[in-house]
Amino acid sequence: MSFAGDPHPSTDQARVAPPESNLHKRVRTALVGGSLTLAVILASSEIPLYILVFAIIYVAASEMTSLFGGTKPIIATFALLAATALTLTAGIVIPIPLVALVAVLVGTAGILIRLKKKCPSRTDALALGWLAGPIACAIWLHSESADATRFFSPNLLALVALPIWLGDTAAYFVGKAIGKTPLAPKISPKKTVEGAAANLVTCIASSYLIGIILNQNLQNPIPQTAILGVGLITGTLGQAGDLLQSALKRSSGIKDSGNFLPGHGGILDRLDSFLFACVPASIILWIYASKSFT
C-alpha cells in the first residue's frame, strides 16, 4: 500500500502498464491481418478464400447496417450474399468484371443518394452493390487460375490487393511525418496531399515489382501496360473510395465503421480503397487477357 505523499509507489502501482498507442495497434493488426490475407491469396485451394469472403460479408454487412442506422444486420448479410451470388451467376453470360462494374455503379449511386439524404430508406439496399461487385471480382481473380494457359494465377489477386495495402501504409506514415497540405479537409481532415502522393507512387511502384515477380512463373506474361494501369487505378480510385467512405461516416456522425480491427476501425475502414479499385483493375486485366487469346 502507498500512502499519500509517499515518493515510492507500491509494486502494484508501478506495474500498471501505459495504454497501448494507436500506432502499435495498427502495426500489430496489419501484420496479423496482412499475413492471414496473403496466405489466403497464395493458397492453391479456393476454400480459404470462400471462408474469408463469408466472414468479410458478415462483418461488412453489419457495419453497413450500422452506418445507415439499421437494426437488422442478418438481413443485410443475406442480401449481400444474394447480391454477390447474383453477380457471379450473371458472369456466366457476361464477363464478371463488367457485371461487377454495374453493381458498383448502382451501389455508388445508392451511397450518393444517402449522402444527399434523399429517400435514404428506399435506396440503402442499392449500396450493397458497392460491396458485392468487388467481392465477386476478388473471387473471379482467384478462380480464373484454373486454366494454366492463361496469364491468370491465384497470385493475381495480390497484384490488386497488395499495392492498395502498401499505398495506404505509405500514406499514413508520410502524412504523419511531413504532411502539411490538407487533401479534403471537409471530408477527412487528417488526409494530406503529401500522403496521397506517397500512396500513388507506392501503388505504381509496388504493382510494377509484383508484376515482375508474377511474370517469372506465367506462361503468358502480364503486359507491363496492364500492370502499370492497375497501379495507377489502385493509387487513384483506391483513395477516392477512402474519401467516399469517410464522407459516408461523416454523414452518419461516426468516426469508424466498426471496431473489428484494433487501430484501424472496422472492415469497411480497411477495405474502402479495395472496394473502389478492385473492379476497374479487374476490367483492365480482363481486357488484356481477352486480347491475348483472340
**Domain tally, the chain:** 1
So what's the pLDDT on residue 149? 37
Taking only the tens place, the pLDDT of each residue in 10-63 is 555 545 555 556 566 656 656 666 667 666 666 666 777 778 888 888 888 788
Residue 2 forms part of a structural domain: no
Name 182's Cβ contacts closer than 8 Å, sequence gap at least 6: 189, 191, 192, 193
Q: Residue 79's domain spans which residues? A: 22-292
User: pLDDT at residue 6 above 90?
Assistant: no
Each residue of 202-248: pLDDT tens digit? 999 999 999 988 888 777 788 899 999 999 999 999 999 889 888 88
Q: Does residue 8 form part of some domain?
A: no
- Spell out the residues 6+ positions from residue 208 whose beta carbon is closer than 8 angstroms to its own: 224, 227, 228, 231
3-state secondary structure 163-199: HHHHHHHHHHHHHHHHCCCEEECCCEEEEEHHHHHHH
Question: Does the residue 154 lie in any domain?
Answer: yes
1 in a structural domain: no
- Asked if the structure places residue 135 within a domain, the reply is yes
Q: Is residue 277 part of a domain?
A: yes
Provide Rg for the chain, Cα atoms. Answer: 21
In a domain, 3, yes or no: no
Q: Work out the average pLDDT over 124-151.
A: 70
CA 202 – CA 150 distance, rounded (Å) = 27
Spatial CB neighbours of 114, under 8 Å, sequence gap ≥ 6: 68, 120, 123, 124, 127, 248, 251
Tell me the three state secondary structure of residue 252: helix
Q: What does the pLDDT read at residue 9?
A: 53
How would DSSP label each residue in 87-150? HHHHTTTS-HHHHHHHHHHHHHHHHHHHHTTSSHHHHGGGGGHHHHHHHHHHHHHHHGGGSTTS
